[in-house]
Structure 1
């Protein structure tokens, strides 16, 4: 485990696994999760000789959160800058980046300024553009208050995956999540458009689309319209994958990533 303190005073914790001279990978979790979501995958890839960085984003898992909470200190650019600081702290060169949901959004945010920090980018559970009403963010703390963290965690797990083995991980992470952080983040993530960043990028981009990730798939139309046919873009279907496809379509998820990295 490693830790850095950002320029606005937030402690960011990340795991750093595998040989120091291994090809570097970033495994970045999504909203309300933590690096623990990808812990088994981090150890798996490290065992193959890759160097794996798996952060807990600010306000998630073992990392700290700014006080007071505000839209500015949980903005997409602010959170993306934390991850550049992580790369600098670890002293790694260009990385294969794998982002789930928010973890993919932050990578897309970085592309115009830091494409040279990437070897490739793979996303799963990530729409490159989203347009939802911001007022929906108020239901995050309300839900935790009405139903309690454990029930919210259980409900989220059941909606997120059909895998009985995956549900306890999701339930635990969501139950431990701060709903006030969720409120601010959901408000920020309700409206964004990073398609132009992906279109302008020259690095190889892989989208792993989970067949059971209904909510994200419903929002993917504009993303796929812009990206399909581009020589740098690859779409791979994971029919049994949910929003956290690494947990419920693990073998094929890992296989497709390894194939993609070896091609590039």
Structure 2
């Protein structure tokens, strides 16, 4: 297995597949998962000739089970060290949920030439938690509940999240996949509880507003409008107004974990964005989102 060792001695596990001279795509996973959550995308883009990289965030998966550094500044610094060690240039960075926050935080600070584009899927920016400046956010008590449940019995909450709202399996007419649920649970239980506990604060309370404003490369926001984990109204619909070169694509009725449940759709659109052939039309989004999608931040 492949690892880098960061300045503070943390070992970061990563996968690096495909031609080393091909354009790299770097995938950033959500809480409390691992690089394995991108299996479908890694195989798809490897088959299209790209170099694909996915790492386990510190404290998650096969990386060191850290008790410190479990916050966005260090997450982004770890990414920068991985990018430097692999000498990745002109890369596309794709992040889901917490990983989308990690992408925003890293890309806003990346060295010139390192990043070509970024994609945020069901991502937490600009900021999740409710406050006076973010009245539409999720109340802090919700995240306190996640912390309490993680500390008391993370095996059970991981099962509850995976079998319910994460993939929309709690919706009427849904057909839950036992394999998907077990794989989510498996990934979560691989990580360290301290890092996963700390990460709840990192993904819910970090304000990425200035990161989004600072990013100069094209960014695609992909979000399901039935996302029960990161509600679209307080994430992508706000984030698109902050980006200089942003594109928003809304997926009617799709859940938070749509990159897994609807990988064929997500992979197709990711490839189209990377190759500059993505279309965003009224046929793919609901009417109430059209004005926001068509009114992009100036480039």
TM-score interval, smaller chain: 0.7 to 0.9
| Larger mean Cα displacement after TM superposition, 158-167 or 83-92 | 158-167
Report what 2:36 is aligned to: 36
How well do the aligned residues superpose, as a CA RMSD in angstroms? 2.4
TM-score normalized by the length of structure 2: 0.78
| Aligned partner of 2:274 among 255, 261, 264 | 261
| Structure 2 unmatched runs, 5+ | 131-138, 170-175, 278-299
Aligned with 1:9: secondary structure?
coil
The separation in 1 between residues aligned to 2:153 and 2:13, in whole angstroms, is: 30
Report what 2:218 is aligned to: 204
Alpha-carbon shift at residue 167 of structure 1 (Å): 2.1
Matched, 1:123 2:120: yes
| Aligned partner of 2:157 among 152, 159, 167 | 152
If each structure's strand is expressed as a fraction of its own residues, which one has the higher value? 1
Aligned with 1:113: secondary structure?
coil
Report what 2:12 is aligned to: 12
Report what 1:110 is aligned to: 106
**Contact 2:212–2:242, Cα closer than 8 Å, also in 1:** no
The separation in 1 between residues aligned to 2:151 and 2:76, in whole angstroms, is: 30
**Contact 1:238–1:253, Cα closer than 8 Å, also in 2:** no
Report what 2:295 is aligned to: none
Matched, 1:84 2:97: no
The separation in 1 between residues aligned to 2:150 and 2:189, in whole angstroms, is: 9
Aligned with 1:42: secondary structure?
helix
Report what 1:247 is aligned to: 260
Report what 1:235 is aligned to: 248
Q: 1:196-253, CA deviations, whole angstroms, 9 ceiling, x for partnerless residues?
A: 22123221110110233123125525x5245249661111122353222211111110
Q: Residues 14 and 181 of structure 1: is their aligned pair in 2 closer, same or farther, counting only changes over 3 Å? A: same
Aligned with 2:76: secondary structure?
helix
If each structure's helix is expressed as a fraction of its own residues, which one has the higher value? 1
Query: Aligned pairs, how many?
Result: 258
Aligned with 1:99: secondary structure?
strand
Q: Residues 20 and 136 of structure 1: is their aligned pair in 2 closer, same or farther, counting only changes over 3 Å? A: same
**Contact 2:215–2:244, Cα closer than 8 Å, also in 1:** no
Alpha-carbon shift at residue 86 of structure 1 (Å): 0.9
Aligned with 1:213: secondary structure?
coil
| Larger mean Cα displacement after TM superposition, 19-28 or 128-137 | 128-137
Q: Residues 91 and 234 of structure 1: is their aligned pair in 2 closer, same or farther, counting only changes over 3 Å? A: same
| Structure 1 unmatched runs, 5+ | none
Aligned with 2:74: secondary structure?
helix
The separation in 2 between residues aligned to 1:178 and 1:27, in whole angstroms, is: 21
